[in-house]
Amino acid sequence: MNGQSESVESSGDLNHEQALASLVENLESGSLTKTKQLQLAELLKNAPPSLVMTATHHQSFSGPIPPPEQLSNYPDDARQVILAMAKNE
């Protein structure tokens, strides 16, 4: 009976790992929706310690203008200043 219990647990762990891997893939591709963020948070809260990892995201760019997806996060007046400075360079 223990063997059955362990295989069910392993199957559950596998599903948990697959769900986590899918959400991490969405995170890495920049397509993690708010709903998926909440799912990821819930999975990490309930994950066994061996499954939890530290994740960081680092983005960099070179040149006077940030990438469009980052530039669009700035207020309009700040974008204008950045563009004007880039024009002068």
Distance CA 14, CA 10 (A): 6
Q: Report long-range pairs for 35-42 (Cβ below 8 Å, ≥24 apart).
A: none
Residue 52 pLDDT class (50, 70, 90 cuts): low
Amino acid at 34: K
Report CA torsion sign: 45, 51, 52, 56. negative
Write out pLDDT tens, residues 28-45: 888 888 898 898 888 888
Reply yes or no on whether the pLDDT at 1 is more than 60.
no
Task: List the structure tokens of 73.
Answer: 């996060």
pLDDT for 83: 92
